[in-house]
Protein backbone atom coordinates (compact mmCIF):
# COMPACT_ATOMS: atom_id res chain seq x y z
CA UNK A 1 0.00 0.00 0.00
CA UNK A 2 1.46 3.36 -0.93
CA UNK A 3 1.95 5.70 1.98
CA UNK A 4 1.51 9.43 1.83
CA UNK A 5 4.27 9.95 4.39
CA UNK A 6 7.26 7.80 5.30
CA UNK A 7 6.16 7.51 8.93
CA UNK A 8 2.44 7.65 8.08
CA UNK A 9 2.20 10.85 10.09
CA UNK A 10 3.05 9.08 13.33
CA UNK A 11 6.14 8.22 15.30
CA UNK A 12 4.89 4.78 16.24
CA UNK A 13 5.03 1.83 13.93
CA UNK A 14 6.22 -1.70 13.39
CA UNK A 15 8.89 -2.58 15.91
CA UNK A 16 8.77 0.80 17.56
CA UNK A 17 6.04 0.79 20.16
CA UNK A 18 2.50 -0.35 20.71
CA UNK A 19 -0.50 1.81 21.34
CA UNK A 20 0.28 5.43 22.11
CA UNK A 21 -1.52 7.57 24.66
CA UNK A 22 -4.05 10.16 23.66
CA UNK A 23 -3.96 13.89 24.33
CA UNK A 24 -6.45 16.67 23.82
CA UNK A 25 -5.81 19.36 21.24
CA UNK A 26 -5.13 22.68 23.01
CA UNK A 27 -7.33 24.55 20.56
CA UNK A 28 -10.33 22.43 19.62
CA UNK A 29 -10.18 19.68 22.23
CA UNK A 30 -10.08 16.81 19.75
CA UNK A 31 -8.59 13.57 21.09
CA UNK A 32 -5.41 12.76 19.21
CA UNK A 33 -2.68 10.14 19.64
CA UNK A 34 0.27 11.73 21.46
CA UNK A 35 2.77 10.70 18.82
CA UNK A 36 0.69 12.27 16.05
CA UNK A 37 0.02 15.50 17.91
CA UNK A 38 2.14 18.54 17.13
CA UNK A 39 3.85 19.53 20.35
CA UNK A 40 4.74 23.14 20.95
CA UNK A 41 6.42 24.67 23.98
CA UNK A 42 5.35 28.22 24.75
CA UNK A 43 6.53 30.56 27.47
CA UNK A 44 3.42 32.20 28.92
CA UNK A 45 3.74 35.26 31.16
CA UNK A 46 2.30 34.73 34.64
CA UNK A 47 0.76 38.20 34.65
CA UNK A 48 -1.50 39.24 31.76
CA UNK A 49 -3.57 42.23 30.74
CA UNK A 50 -3.36 45.81 32.01
CA UNK A 51 -1.36 44.77 35.06
CA UNK A 52 1.40 43.36 32.84
CA UNK A 53 1.54 46.56 30.77
CA UNK A 54 1.98 48.68 33.88
CA UNK A 55 4.66 46.39 35.27
CA UNK A 56 6.56 46.43 31.94
CA UNK A 57 6.43 50.24 31.93
CA UNK A 58 7.95 50.25 35.39
CA UNK A 59 10.75 48.08 34.05
CA UNK A 60 10.06 44.82 35.86
CA UNK A 61 10.78 41.46 34.33
CA UNK A 62 7.58 39.43 34.23
CA UNK A 63 8.18 35.75 34.98
CA UNK A 64 7.07 33.32 32.32
CA UNK A 65 6.13 29.70 32.77
CA UNK A 66 6.70 26.85 30.37
CA UNK A 67 3.48 25.43 28.90
CA UNK A 68 3.34 22.48 26.54
CA UNK A 69 0.61 22.69 23.94
CA UNK A 70 -0.56 19.84 21.78
CA UNK A 71 -2.26 20.57 18.49
CA UNK A 72 -4.15 18.31 16.13
CA UNK A 73 -2.96 18.37 12.52
CA UNK A 74 -5.80 20.62 11.30
CA UNK A 75 -5.23 23.21 14.04
CA UNK A 76 -1.45 23.13 13.55
CA UNK A 77 -1.92 23.84 9.85
CA UNK A 78 -4.46 26.57 10.64
CA UNK A 79 -2.03 28.33 12.98
CA UNK A 80 0.92 27.89 10.61
CA UNK A 81 2.90 25.70 13.04
CA UNK A 82 3.34 23.09 10.31
CA UNK A 83 2.96 23.78 6.63
CA UNK A 84 1.60 21.77 3.76
CA UNK A 85 4.54 20.30 1.87
CA UNK A 86 5.02 19.00 -1.62
CA UNK A 87 4.51 15.30 -2.24
CA UNK A 88 8.21 14.47 -2.44
CA UNK A 89 9.32 16.54 0.55
CA UNK A 90 6.62 14.96 2.73
CA UNK A 91 8.67 11.76 2.79
CA UNK A 92 11.71 13.53 4.21
CA UNK A 93 12.24 14.80 7.71
CA UNK A 94 11.26 18.43 8.21
CA UNK A 95 14.30 20.71 8.30
CA UNK A 96 14.16 21.54 12.01
CA UNK A 97 13.74 17.87 12.95
CA UNK A 98 16.65 16.93 10.71
CA UNK A 99 18.95 19.35 12.52
CA UNK A 100 17.69 18.11 15.89
CA UNK A 101 18.16 14.46 14.95
CA UNK A 102 21.62 14.66 13.42
CA UNK A 103 22.85 17.62 15.50
CA UNK A 104 24.19 19.46 12.46
CA UNK A 105 24.97 23.11 12.95
ZN1 LIG B 1 -7.42 20.94 17.10
Chain segment 19-55, per-residue pLDDT in tens: 889 999 999 999 999 989 999 999 988 888 888 889 8
CATH value of 22-102 in 3.40.50.970, 1.10.10.60, 1.10.40.30, 3.30.1740.20: 3.30.1740.20
pLDDT-derived band at 65, boundaries 50, 70, 90: very high
Rounded Cα gap, residues 36 and 11, in angstroms = 7
Distance 4 CA to ligand 1 centre (A): 21
Distance 105 CA to ligand 1 centre (A): 33
Q: Name the residue ranges covered by the structural domains of the chain.
A: 22-102
Distance 29 CA to ligand 1 centre (A): 6
Q: Which residues of 57-70 are buried (b: 16+ CB within 10 A; e: fewer)?
A: eeeeeeeeeeeebb
- What are φ and ψ of residue 8, in 5° steps? 55, 30
Amino acid sequence: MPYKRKNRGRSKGRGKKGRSETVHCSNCGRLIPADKAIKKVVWVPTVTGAMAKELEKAGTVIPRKRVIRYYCVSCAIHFGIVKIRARESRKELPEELFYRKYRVK
